A and B are shown apart, each in its own frame.
Chain A
Amino acid sequence: MKVKVWFTSVLTALKHFFIKIWTAIKHFRKTKASKSILASVFSIIIGVLIGFILMIAIKPNEAFYGLGIMLTGGASNVSNIFQVLYTAAPLLMTGLAVGFAFKTGLFNIGAAGQYTVGAFLAIFGAIVLKLPWYLDILLAALGGALWGAIPGIFKAFLNVNEVITSIMFNWIGLFTVDLIIANTPMMLSSTYGGFDRSRTVDIVAVNPGAKLPSLGMESLSAYMNIGIFLAVIIAILIYIILNKTTFGYELKACGYNKESSKYAGINAKRNIVYSMAISGALAGIGGALTYLAGTATMQITKSISPIGFNGIPVALLGTSNPIGIIFSAIFIAYIQIGGNAMQPEFATEVVDIVISVIIYLSAFSLVFKQLIDRYLLNRKNSKLQKLIKAPDDQAVVSGTSAKEGEQQ
């Protein structure tokens, strides 16, 4: 008898606990943020599904294997997890660069060039100037800011569309960096006994202090360093600047309506230059985080870095919100590492297809949100609504019966 009473009281306590969580979830479901998240989750599920269908079409026998690798490869071992974080750090920075510019009404398609200039200056600081890592990052930020400010100046004072200037300066930046590296023997691997004349020397060999600290966890993975933490902190800072400061408010105001912000006494021209400079600095830091990890060296090349362009999908998936961008960068890095593990059964590019479908579906976010509203939250007689409601009612009923039982 006692056992039974004890059992029912535990059960009711549990029920009440679940009811509380359930109502909290229900409350959260009605907020704007949750709708965006739900819409993103929808997009991701559909994107992965389309990738899976594609794999079935190519190699039906290995499709399940491919899907499994794509979704779990990023977490399959410790080394991969750290590689995901290492890949995510610069993506997060270029994503922030693009997202920040979007928020202020500018399309910074030049993150690639700013990333390259930043990366070069970080390596230059490390190898030639023998600076410690934090000063190298600062140098990269300055370089990126300069490369971002140029399109800003062209737009503000010369009325040149920032898109065209950014594209031109992507190439100018790339070729300038190529030229300087080729003509600075001190930076080249071949000067130090290596055979490669088109690569920079390993920074760790020349200046160990330039490598990003790994918090003593080097033994876990060569990819372990503080880069991702720095990037997350910067993302939070950018969130605060955009949403909690007058400066950020003015920048956003210029983005929403240049003329009316001028009328309100905001210096719109100066703000355009500031926005582009900050955006460029963020991309520049991304370049520093890639190469100061000590796992990669810079190469003289004729093609623009894809990490800068990948900032655009990262920013779009994170709806240009700095906090959202943290998650979207980690997600894209995760699925990319998973995609690398898919070879040779499937081309890594299957992952790009999945990502691009997800990005495309974010255009449907408004439609998705309406669907969520209609079928999950508001419509009283929808099946899902009943499902959500049902445990609530039952709990109330059983709760009263339990009380009655106690009284008896």
Chain B
Amino acid sequence: MNVFGDLIASMIAFAVPLILVALGAMYSERSGTINIALEGIMIIGGLAASLLFKVLNGTEFATNAPQLAVLLGILLAAVVGALYSFFLAFASIRLKADQTIGGTALNMLAPALAIVITWAIQGQGQTAIYTPDWVPLATAPVDANFFERVFLKNMYLTTPICILVIIATVIIIYKTKFGLRLRACGENPAAADSVGINVYRMRYIGVMISGALAGVGGVAFTLAAGSGFASTVAGYGFLALAVMIFGNWQPTKIVLAALLFAFFKSLSGMSGSIPFLPSFDNVKESLYIYLMIPYIVTMIILALTSKKSRAPKAEGIPYDKGAR
């Protein structure tokens, strides 16, 4: 039973950054801009928060109110992520450039910037920033039972924030004027414009919300990684993009898609300790079979369900007021 507690805990740890970033990507795409810079924004967010944790480490503030300090780091990551994504928004909305250009540039810039900055701060070749031990929200005791494992292991402030973001997103997208306008800009910007919605502004907001959430997702990834910030998010930004498409651009489905993916992902990580899973004794490095499974499962589900899949209609097309 304890193994399953660990399994669920690790699933949550994997799922939180995916959900945050994929929901962010959804805001951007629903407004009509494809944000492929998520990977880079996550790195920048993780970097900002890790640097703040490093600065606060050992101060009175961090020892007295550790979770307030963590919250500060998360907010910083959101702000930095939003500012960083502004560059993408500017290139693809104001300059009407191909949206892959800004995204590719930001993806390439982020890890390089992170390495150069960490080198400059910590000295040559030292690119890892370790997470201080006051950051976790809770720690599971050694002889923890099932529920303690589920709720206390890998528990960071990012998890409750993620739950809040999910609820807020469902409300914002479907129940508010803003959500309706955002969706209109992604479906038919000319029509939205004709009824007085400022399409450019909505798209800027959409991209920058995605930047803020991706920044927080970067923090969640860095914390879940355990050892700290290492100038990479291991393809999670692209994975989140895939999860968003998998979730058919709808918040609840995105959450389910991320949970499913994270479940198979954590299954592969713990394949050795779960008794009923086949161990493939005569295959060397059988770990790679399990590593492959989440991706294959996603592809199978996509192949079966994709006929219904529908992207926002104006996604990826720069809006030109003068065009007919």
A residues adjacent to B (C-beta < 8 A): 54, 58, 102, 107, 109, 154, 158-161, 163-165, 167-169, 171-172, 175-176, 178-179, 182-183, 300, 302-304, 312-313, 316, 344, 346-347, 349-353, 355-357, 359-360, 362-367
With A109-B238, A160-B302, A366-B95 already in contact, the answer to whether A316 and B109 are too (CB < 8 A) is no
Contact with A along B91-123 (1 / 0, CB 8 A): 110011110111011101101110110011000
Q: Are A175 and B101 within 8 A (Cβ)?
A: no
Other contacts beyond A160-B306, A161-B309, A175-B291: 15, CB < 8 A: A158-B307, A159-B307, A159-B309, A161-B311, A163-B241, A167-B235, A171-B292, A172-B299, A183-B283, A349-B112, A352-B111, A353-B116, A356-B106, A366-B97, A367-B95
Contact with A along B112-141 (1 / 0, CB 8 A): 110110011000110000000000000000
With A164-B242, A344-B124 already in contact, the answer to whether A54 and B116 are too (CB < 8 A) is yes
Report if B234 contacts A (CB, 8 A): yes
Which of A167, A300, A313, A344 has the most C-beta atoms of chain B within 10 angstroms of its own C-beta?
A167
Q: How far is the CB of A355 from chain B (nearest CB, A)?
A: 6
What residue of chain B has the Cβ atom nearest to residue A312's Cβ? B104
Q: Are B108 and A313 within 8 A (Cβ)?
A: yes
Report if B55 contacts A (CB, 8 A): no
Give every chain A residue within 8 A of B238 (Cβ-Cβ): 109, 167
Q: Are A352 and B108 within 8 A (Cβ)?
A: yes
Contact with A along B283-304 (1 / 0, CB 8 A): 1110011011001101100110
Q: Are B91 and A356 within 8 A (Cβ)?
A: no
Q: Are A175 and B245 within 8 A (Cβ)?
A: no
Report if B87 contacts A (CB, 8 A): yes
Show 18 residue pairs from A and B whose CB-CB distance is below 8 angstroms, ordered by the A residue: A54-B116, A154-B299, A161-B245, A164-B241, A165-B302, A171-B295, A176-B288, A178-B285, A182-B288, A312-B104, A344-B124, A347-B115, A349-B111, A349-B116, A356-B108, A363-B95, A363-B102, A364-B91
Q: Are B242 and A167 within 8 A (Cβ)?
A: yes
> Do most interface residues of chain B lie in helix, strand or loop, or is the interface mixed?
helix
Report if B319 contacts A (CB, 8 A): no
Q: How far is the CB of A70 from chain B (nearest CB, A)?
A: 13
Give every chain A residue within 8 A of B119 (Cβ-Cβ): 58, 347
Q: Are A352 and B112 within 8 A (Cβ)?
A: yes
Give every chain A residue within 8 A of B246 (Cβ-Cβ): 164
Report if B239 contacts A (CB, 8 A): yes
Can you list the 7 inter-chain pairs with the closest CB atoms, starting with the nearest? Answer: A363-B97, A352-B112, A360-B105, A349-B112, A356-B109, A182-B285, A356-B108
Q: Which of B91, B241, B283, B289 contacts A360 (CB 8 A)?
A: B91
Q: How far is B91's CA from A169's CA once the two chains are assembled, in angstroms?
A: 29
Give every chain B residue within 8 A of A365 (Cβ-Cβ): 97
Give every chain B residue within 8 A of A165 (Cβ-Cβ): 299, 302
Give every chain B residue within 8 A of A303 (Cβ-Cβ): 234
With A154-B303, A172-B292, A175-B292 already in contact, the answer to whether A353 and B113 are too (CB < 8 A) is yes
Give every chain B residue within 8 A of A366 (Cβ-Cβ): 95-97
Give every chain B residue within 8 A of A159 (Cβ-Cβ): 306-307, 309
Q: How far is B234's CA from A175's CA once the two chains are assembled, in angstroms?
A: 15
Q: Are A160 and B303 within 8 A (Cβ)?
A: yes
Q: Which of B95, B111, B289, B311 contacts A364 (CB 8 A)?
A: B95
With A158-B306, A175-B288 already in contact, the answer to whether A350 and B116 are too (CB < 8 A) is yes
Q: How far is B232's CA from A303's CA once the two chains are assembled, in angstroms?
A: 11
What residue of chain A has the Cβ atom nearest to residue B297's Cβ? A168
Q: Are A359 and B101 within 8 A (Cβ)?
A: yes
Q: How far is the CB of B49 from chain A (nearest CB, A)?
A: 20
Q: Are B283 and A353 within 8 A (Cβ)?
A: no
- Identify which of residues 260-291 in chain B touch chain A, using a CB-to-CB cut-off of 8 Å: 283-285, 288-289, 291
Q: Are B288 and A363 within 8 A (Cβ)?
A: no
Give every chain B residue within 8 A of A316 (Cβ-Cβ): 98, 100-101, 104
- Identify which of residues 225-240 in chain B touch chain A, using a CB-to-CB cut-off of 8 Å: 234-235, 238-239
Q: How far is B113's CA from A253's CA once the two chains are assembled, in angstroms?
A: 39
What residue of chain B has the Cβ atom nearest to residue A172's Cβ? B295
Q: How far is B102's CA from A359's CA once the two chains are assembled, in angstroms?
A: 8
Give every chain B residue within 8 A of A356 (Cβ-Cβ): 104-106, 108-109, 112
Give every chain B residue within 8 A of A347 (Cβ-Cβ): 115-116, 119
Q: How far is B124's CA from A240's CA once the two chains are assembled, in angstroms?
A: 48
What residue of chain B has the Cβ atom nearest to residue A159's Cβ? B306
Q: Are A352 and B109 within 8 A (Cβ)?
A: yes
Q: How far is the CB of B308 from chain A (nearest CB, A)?
A: 9
Q: Are B108 and A359 within 8 A (Cβ)?
A: yes
Q: How far is the CB of B323 from chain A (nearest CB, A)?
A: 15
Q: Are B283 and A362 within 8 A (Cβ)?
A: no
Q: Which of B111, B115, B242, B306 contacts A168 (CB 8 A)?
A: B242
Give every chain A residue within 8 A of B98 (Cβ-Cβ): 316, 363
Q: How far is B309's CA from A188's CA once the two chains are assembled, in angstroms?
A: 44
Contact with A along B158-185 (1 / 0, CB 8 A): 0000000000000000000000000000
Q: How far is B302's CA from A106's CA once the two chains are assembled, in angstroms?
A: 19
What residue of chain A has the Cβ atom nearest to residue B92's Cβ? A363
What residue of chain A has the Cβ atom nearest to residue B109's Cβ? A356
Q: How far is B117's CA from A350's CA once the two chains are assembled, in angstroms?
A: 10
Q: How far is B112's CA from A58's CA once the two chains are assembled, in angstroms?
A: 14
Q: How far is the CB of B160 from chain A (nearest CB, A)?
A: 29
Q: Are B235 and A304 within 8 A (Cβ)?
A: yes
Give every chain B residue within 8 A of A183 (Cβ-Cβ): 283-285
Q: How far is B119's CA from A165's CA once the two chains are assembled, in angstroms?
A: 36
Q: How far is B36's CA from A55's CA once the two chains are assembled, in angstroms?
A: 28
Q: Are B242 and A355 within 8 A (Cβ)?
A: no
Q: How far is B234's CA from A356's CA once the two chains are assembled, in angstroms?
A: 19
Give every chain B residue within 8 A of A302 (Cβ-Cβ): 291
With A109-B238, A316-B104, A349-B116 already in contact, the answer to whether A172 and B296 are too (CB < 8 A) is yes
Q: How far is B238's CA from A159's CA once the two chains are assembled, in angstroms?
A: 19
Give every chain B residue within 8 A of A344 (Cβ-Cβ): 124-125
Q: Are A167 and B241 within 8 A (Cβ)?
A: yes
Q: How far is the CB of A202 from chain B (nearest CB, A)?
A: 21
Q: How far is the CB of B281 from chain A (nearest CB, A)?
A: 13
Q: How far is B245's CA from A313's CA once the two chains are assembled, in angstroms?
A: 24
Q: Which of A163, A182, A304, A357 contacts B245 (CB 8 A)?
A: A163
Q: How far is the CB of A384 from chain B (nearest CB, A)?
A: 24
Give every chain A residue within 8 A of B104 (Cβ-Cβ): 312-313, 316, 356, 359
Q: How far is B100's CA from A359's CA once the two chains are assembled, in angstroms?
A: 10
Q: How far is the CB of B207 from chain A (nearest CB, A)?
A: 14
Q: How far is the CB of A184 from chain B (nearest CB, A)?
A: 10
Which of A158, A176, A367 has the most C-beta atoms of chain B within 10 angstroms of its own C-beta?
A158
Q: How far is the CB of A107 from chain B (nearest CB, A)?
A: 6
